Amino acid sequence: MNKLDQEQDVVNLAEKLGLTGSPVAAIINFCQDQIDTWVRDAGGVNSVDELEAVVTNRLNLVFEEINTDDDFERLKAKYVPLGEFVFAALSVDMDDDTYGTMVRLKDGTHVAVIDCRGDKAARRFFTRWHEIAHLLVEESVDKQVFRSTDEPLERLMDQIAGHVGFYDSIFTPLFNSSLSEGELLTFEHIESIRQDFCASASFQSTLFACQRRMRTPMLYVEIRMAHSESERRSLKQMRMFDDVPEEKLRVRITVPNEAALDIGLRTRWNMRVPESSILFSTVHDNADSDTSGDENLSTWTFSSGDSLMDYDVFIQARRIGDSVMATIQPRRGQ
């Protein structure tokens, strides 16, 4: 079960749409069915640009992008004379944590403004499809700001975007032609697929699209320095420490694909990464390039003395700021 299935906002949205079954899966299928119908009516699509054009036309949606601060003045000059005064203060909405905002014009058109300045450019593709996701489940959005938050509906929009943006009839053939049966998925494969599919899609979102299509087990993890839960609670409650506990390298995000779930391949949130792991050296050696190697997951232990599965795995890792993103895949023959 998807964790979002238990969120009341998600349950309410599914009920509003008249859907039954697992809320998240039902909502994603609802969005996918809409797009499939539009694509059939258009006679098919051969690229992401064609797909987006079909979808935005049916949703009466227009994109505007902010590449430099000067673009705020351009949009102000374009829309304010039309009586759309929200564009006069658009720059106020676009803080460091905001990636997009959507406004419904007086004529019914929706304008989604996408912030592509600096590091946000890497999320351009995903932010556009996040805004599309909102309109797929809401016929009209008067004003909506997309910020990087953990709110259930925003996380749901991310899941919708990750599915419909990587449209199956376009993406899956590229994926299948890039990977032989049983071959491990590498970062090199992912980057090649990304370039062929849509160069403005982020590496991470492309990775997830590939992972969902893998028939063999694959686990995605992100790790960074963090305290244990008991340490966090004590620090939050302002308990006194003779020495403030050191942060340890821990798993902060863990995402298995279906094949990984089938064999029980997983890590636990916040578990420590062993010093023998290539992930540990990736962090502590300040690796500035991708690293990879083999190890056995049984070296990953818990405070109770238990360990992860006895699996020989191939790990590939990439440092991103203070974190490391990695894929974990069992070697063939296990």
Residue 110 CB: number of other CB atoms within 10 A? Answer: 23
pLDDT tens for each residue of 7-64: 999 999 999 999 999 999 999 999 999 999 999 999 999 999 999 999 999 999 999 9
CATH 3.30.1380.20 fits 216-330, yes or no: no
Element (H, E) at 70: helix 70-79
pLDDT tens for each residue of 265-296: 989 999 999 999 999 988 877 767 899 999 99
Q: Return the pLDDT at 221.
A: 97
Q: Which residues of 4-35 are buried (b: 16+ CB within 10 A; e: fewer)?
A: beebeebeebbeeeeeeeebbebbbebbbebb
Reported as a pLDDT band with limits 50, 70 and 90, residue 232 is: confident
pLDDT tens for each residue of 163-215: 999 999 999 999 999 998 888 999 999 999 999 999 999 999 999 999 999 99
Q: Return the pLDDT at 283.
A: 85
Burial-class residue 68 by CB neighbours within 10 Å (0-12, 13-18, 19+): exposed
Residue 301 DSSP symbol:
B
> What three-state secondary structure class fits 274?
coil
Structure token pair of residue 264? 């029980």
Q: What is the mean pLDDT of the chain?
A: 90
Q: What is the DSSP string of 153-216?
A: HHHHHHHHHHHHSS-HHHHHHHHHHHS-TTPPP-HHHHHHHHHHH-TTS-HHHHHHHHHHH-SS
Reported as a pLDDT band with limits 50, 70 and 90, residue 239 is: low
Please state, for a pLDDT cut of 90, what percent of the chain lies above it: 72
pLDDT tens for each residue of 104-156: 999 999 999 999 999 899 899 999 999 999 999 987 665 555 455 568 999 99
pLDDT at 242 over 80: no
Would you list the domain boundaries of the chain? Answer: 3-158, 166-213, 216-330
The answer to whether residues 241 and 234 touch, using CB atoms and an 8 Å cutoff, is: yes
